[in-house]
Amino acid sequence: MKKKTLEDLNVAGKKVLVRVDFNVPIIDGVISDDNRIVQALATINYLTDEKAKVILLSHLGRIKKEEDIAKNSLEVVAKRLEELLEKKVNFIPYTRGPELEKAINEMKESEIVMLQNTRYEDLDGKKESKNNPELGAYWASLGDMFVNDAFGTAHRSHASNVGIASCLESAAGYLMEKELKYFGDTVDNPQKPFVAILGGAKVSDKIGVIENLLKKADKILIGGGMAYTFMKALGHNIGTSICEDDKLDLATSILENANDKIILPVDVVVTKEFREDAPFRVTNYKGMKDNEMGLDIGPKTIKLFKKELKGAKTVVWNGPMGVFEFENFATGTKNICETLANLKDARTIIGGGDSAAAAIQMGYREKFTHISTGGGASLEFLEGKELPGVVSLDDLEDGACGAGCDCGH
């Protein structure tokens, strides 16, 4: 069933709560990647142009103890948003209370207020990430309607998305709409040939994705740490490479039922030490020594993967091919990224997380059809799961307020 989208709302003069995903990496007080902020600009600009009073909510990091408070303040994010929008953003360093309520009540049309990190509410009993109904209703009481533009948290049932949506007329923002369109169309109606590329450390993280994609994709190329579990299941020596020994039987079963759709590496870049400048060499699995670990796919695998990608019309990529943060072991990820960026007449989608960071870091942001802002959410979407943050939004023909809500709307 189709969900309401931003332009289905009459926002003029209304206080519009917007859940954004500004969970950006911050190093020494400086944002190292502002992609998630940039992706939210279209929704915010639309709302201010339409004379809405815009109230932004986001989380940042995890709050488990008092020491986490200062390093996860959204103040630096508010300043960066202000620069990108070229508009004043009134940052309120509270998640509730009279100062926040006063600032919102005094808002004029087209003004923007940003609350403090919603996860601050987790310090005392995980009220936010456990979808505390009182907290969701309180935040809902601050606005007239709700827009969820945070695809990155759509796979979680939190007070700042599901909680608010259950109380107010709600819709998907432009970014959320775009994410759902690309992933929905790509997975459900891919133009063939459809090739999926999966990397990252663990098979267990991607079991559901592999099983779902085996029904839809023509080929699945597997690299990264997860490849070693499959290789050990096939009886190969993987030395000290990362491996989930408790998933070997599962890996064997997946391969037996894959109908030759799964393509595994044929050579690897190995080293004896997990460090950036460690000496390395290329070998096949028969040549790997007991004291060596694989940290990247080798040149023959790169050539094989490029061959499988040739002529592909739809490609989904989730997870790097190796430890791309280390220059010596970034070659596989770089080559896959470059190949996809230059694939002609193909829809290319990166499913967030490390592979998205790699593509942006390597300067290919504009070369892909879509780079997702949500690693975990994109994985669950690729598994075919329903996302609570999406399910909770109003269906196109539904009314505004959820059943059982006590927010007064």
Tokens matching residue 38? 């940039």
Q: What is the pLDDT of residue 286?
A: 87
Q: What is the pLDDT of residue 378?
A: 86
Q: How far apart are CA 346 and CA 81, in angstroms?
A: 33
Tokens matching residue 207? 């079991």
Q: What is the mean pLDDT of the chain?
A: 92
- Which is nearest to 383 in space by CA: 196, 153, 129? 196
User: What average pLDDT score do residues 17-38 get?
Assistant: 93
Q: pLDDT category, 402, cuts 50, 70, 90?
A: very low
SS3 at position 51:
coil
Q: How far apart are CA 382 and CA 378, in angstroms?
A: 6
Q: What is the pLDDT of residues 42-70, one digit of tens each?
A: 999 999 999 999 999 999 998 888 888 88
Q: What is the pLDDT of residue 124?
A: 77
Q: What is the pLDDT of residue 82?
A: 97
- Cα dist from 209 to 77, 205, 212, whole Å: 33, 8, 5
Where do the domains of the chain lie? 6-178+387-391, 179-383
pLDDT > 50? residue 403? no
User: What average pLDDT score do residues 96-123 get?
Assistant: 97
Max mean pLDDT among 81-95, 363-377, 385-399 falls in 81-95
**CATH for the 6-178+387-391 domain, from 3.40.50.720, 3.40.50.1260, 3.20.20.80, 3.90.1150.10:** 3.40.50.1260
Among 103-107, 131-135, 218-222, 285-289, whose mean pLDDT is lowest?
A: 285-289
pLDDT > 70? residue 408? no
Q: What is the pLDDT of residue 204?
A: 85
Q: What is the pLDDT of residues 67-109, one digit of tens each?
A: 888 889 999 999 999 999 999 999 999 999 999 999 999 999 9
CATH number, span 179-383 = 3.40.50.1260
Q: What is the pLDDT of residues 268-296, one digit of tens each?
A: 999 999 999 999 999 998 899 999 999 99
Q: What is the pLDDT of residues 315-368, one digit of tens each?
A: 999 999 999 989 999 999 999 999 999 999 999 999 877 888 888 888 888 889
SS3 at position 171:
strand
Residue percentage of the chain with pLDDT more than 90: 76
What is the DSSP pairing of strand 15-19 with strand 53-57?
Answer: parallel
Among 62-71, 215-224, 239-248, 396-405, whose mean pLDDT is lowest?
A: 396-405
Q: What is the pLDDT of residue 409?
A: 53
- Cα dist from 383 to 103, 177, 212, whole Å: 42, 19, 6
Q: pLDDT category, 404, cuts 50, 70, 90?
A: very low
Task: Judge if 6-178+387-391 and 179-383 fold alike in CATH terms.
Answer: yes
The catalytic site residues sit at 36, 202, 353, 376
Q: What is the pLDDT of residue 158?
A: 97
User: What average pLDDT score do residues 300-314 get?
Assistant: 97
- Cα dist from 21 to 18, 61, 180, 243, 309, whole Å: 10, 11, 15, 32, 32
**Cβ partners under 8 Å of residue 118, min gap 6:** 57, 58, 59, 95, 128, 158, 159, 160
Q: What is the pLDDT of residue 364?
A: 85
Length in residues, the chain: 409
